[in-house]
Structure 1
């Protein structure tokens, strides 16, 4: 559990990768804070504090903030600054409907042309998530879940699909955590993951497409039920 009230406490310049541009460093840092729940809907993004922690100037941070605004994660409030966007349930539903269609296509593509290595990696992640479920460790489960879905879409071997899907799920970071905070929900979620990887292992394109769509649709139901 996070001990500090400072949402930026886990960041430092030590995480900087030299090949990244400074604005990309800042952008990924803010995305990470939103993904792990340190920055929540309605929170203000403190550009000065973030720049200081990352050891960069405010310019790249400001550029990253504007990029995230265009991506739909942040919203500008006149004379107040930039805030994490509050995504409505209706907006989330629209995004989940599109995500479901893309996920179904990805499942079909992976079953047809995904590599055995890709599928084995996904199976291993499901096993890791089982361990998190057994410990009622929602935080670890959420992190592994993000990794699972990122690798899942990457295994489809379609860069256009991957780019479109990632734009959608970045906005859904604003709400996805709240559907997975209960032990009951993470258990059901991983059972659905197991159905997906079983279909992929069998190279059953129809079953993989169906399992992917059902998982995404159920994900939205968990968010809606969480209120």
Structure 2
């Protein structure tokens, strides 16, 4: 089983990029946000234009990344899930922000697939190493491509845990979707089955009733 877990608003308690822009950019970033939400521009164009507005030095940015508040229940989820599955983080946010915040909070070190943060003399720039030209969501980080590449074998069960627009495309393809935030509305509108959640404690409560999880965890305890 493969868990694809979003970061901003899912592992983190709020959207990291929005918080970054509110602190270090002028209000023009909101205009780009509205254009993206309306489908007038894609995510890559939106984020590139937004981050060009950031004015802060390396020290201030690193300090900010360490203040990102995370959902502590993710650690319990990971301890449970790793007994029978692999867990990767897939985000259309910033790789460095994810790694710094998780390390600072003593969270487990996991594979992270996200857009690359590049420091400039007075700000930051984003590049997109995981971008796919045919990404249906127009994202900088194509989660559908990541799920395909990370599957250990054809047909491996893919479970998406997410909250927003960057998760919408994979929601159509994943075997199971845990959703909150705007992803709930997307799933309802497009008749995509989903399991609602607020924290990772909710996810664990559901997983504990899955037969494949019970069998795997029992075998793990027997061989420990």
TM-score bucket of the superposed structures, by smaller chain: under 0.3
TM-score (norm 2): 0.27
Higher-helix-fraction structure: 1
Higher-strand-fraction structure: 2
